[in-house]
Amino acid sequence: MATRIESPALREEVWRDVLPSGLRCYVLLKPGFAARYASFATRYGSCDQSFVTGDGRLRETPAGIAHFLEHKLFEEEGGNVAERFSALGAMSNAYTNYGATSYLFSTTENFPAALDLLLQFVQQPYFTEENVRKEQGIIAEELRMYLDDPRSVVFQNLLAALYQRHPVRVEIGGTLESIRQIGPAELFLCHKAFYQPANMVLMVAGDVDPAAVFAAARRAVPAAAAGAEVRRVFPDEPRQVGEEMRRRRMAVGVPLIAIGFKDDPATAEQSLRREVVMEVLLDVLFGPASEIHRRLYEEGLIGQQFAASYFSGEGYASTVLGGPTPDPDRLLARVEALLAETLRHGLDPTDVERSRRRSLGEFVALFNAPEAVAHAFSEYALRDLDLMAAYDVLLAVTADEVAQRLQETFGSPRRSVSIVEGEG
């Protein structure tokens, strides 16, 4: 039965329904918006390489198979699904990250037909030996492109240094070696295991009728489609980092640095609050209005691309900061010195409150971008979290709570550094 979720503070309205198949459906009403957006996502990402299926068997799959599967689902016998979306006037896309795969479209016309197509093609895989071999070549070229991209290299090298065993240390697309191990049998296995309705979320945002969306989903995803739940298996990840430093020489005009602080993974209950608190903390420390940012900028060590973020998922969590810099080693030393100074003196509660209010404003503004909010809503729902509840958490964040996270994150850091510098 559909239920209405309202947030008086946000002045937003969301409808939710859980179908007999187990599929969770959400509709964010945006009256008057011309564009409508839909996302059909599964909790299956690049880190889900080992799992136990309903028959009790442990399955070990090659790195990159979730991303490979995302590519292949757009291919159908005799054509490509993207062309069918274009014929309806809709723009389609898909992405795979460490914990999810999402298929999406946006349109101002033919929304019901585009929604039916989205729900249909994701559930109907078409794999042959020939089209899988062809895709191996396409993805290999994509991986080579990442290997030549300094921004991708500096980040991936950081993860490989921070983590010793967890699959987050491997590129989302896999490796040139691992994708050669992927065939139709492996793709069918993973599709059957993870593209189960109870493991998926449908999210729609725009000026639409929630009842019509839920009815379309019921027609396309019958109760008979439900299957056995899989159990993910992850290796035991040591608390300490694997390597303190990784350096790479590439053809870059300005060197790049990424600094990572390894954190203990959060439980499902902790994750929402920790992510909200970390957003406030990182804005206080490294945001454009922060004292650290001002000093580093005036010293000529950073530019506008310097950023900090909290990066977390099942079995991993880290704070990552960095960007282009003319002197990576000096920037690293200055960041460490300024963090040590902050740890000694503590945070100014006025700065914490300013950042908390800024985060509240950005959160409210998110709901004016249906595509962005639908993406965020889906990601949270796949983790059994409520995006709208994050607003209430932000309202309740205290300076003491942020100060505690400062000590936990940077007080006795487990730190790794990745640097990409010029070949000269």
Q: Whose CA is closest to 277, among 336, 319, 338? A: 319
> Taking 90 as the threshold, does the pLDDT of residue 112 lie above it?
yes
Helix axes 129-147, 184-194, angle to 10 degrees: 80
402 φ, ψ (degrees, to nearest 5) = -65, -40
Largest CA distance in the chain: 66
In the chain, which segments carry CATH 3.30.830.10?
Answer: 3-232, 245-422
Cα separation, 14 vs 206, in Å, equals 11
Q: What is the pLDDT of residues 341-382, one digit of tens each?
A: 999 999 999 999 999 999 999 999 998 888 888 899 999 999
Q: What is the pLDDT of residues 250-267, one digit of tens each?
A: 999 999 999 999 999 988
Beta strands 58-60 and 3-7, pairing class = unpaired
Query: CATH number of the domain at 245-422, please?
Result: 3.30.830.10
> Taking 90 as the threshold, does the pLDDT of residue 116 lie above it?
yes
What is the CB neighbour count within 10 angstroms for residue 298? 9
Cα separation, 207 vs 89, in Å, equals 17
Q: What is the pLDDT of residues 19-76, one digit of tens each?
A: 999 999 999 999 999 999 999 999 999 999 999 998 899 999 999 999 999 999 999 8
Q: What is the pLDDT of residues 127-155, one digit of tens each?
A: 999 999 999 999 999 999 999 999 999 99
Cα separation, 223 vs 18, in Å, equals 11
Q: What is the pLDDT of residues 298-342, one digit of tens each?
A: 999 999 999 999 999 999 999 999 999 999 999 999 999 999 999
Catalytic residue among 6, 60, 70, 353: 70
Domain 3-232: give its CATH superfamily: Metalloenzyme, LuxS/M16 peptidase-like (3.30.830.10)
> Taking 80 as the threshold, does the pLDDT of residue 225 lie above it?
no
**Residue 61 C-alpha from the chain's centroid:** 21
Q: Under a CB-based contact definition with an 8 Å cutoff, are residues 22 and 11 in contact?
A: no
Please confirm, yes or no, whether 75 is among the known catalytic residues: no
> Taking 80 as the threshold, does the pLDDT of residue 424 lie above it?
no
**Torsion over CA: 259, 260, 261, 267 (sign):** positive
- At 255 the pLDDT is 97
Q: What is the pLDDT of residues 406-418, one digit of tens each?
A: 999 999 889 999 9
Q: What is the pLDDT of residues 227-247, one digit of tens each?
A: 778 999 999 999 999 999 999
- At 6 the pLDDT is 75
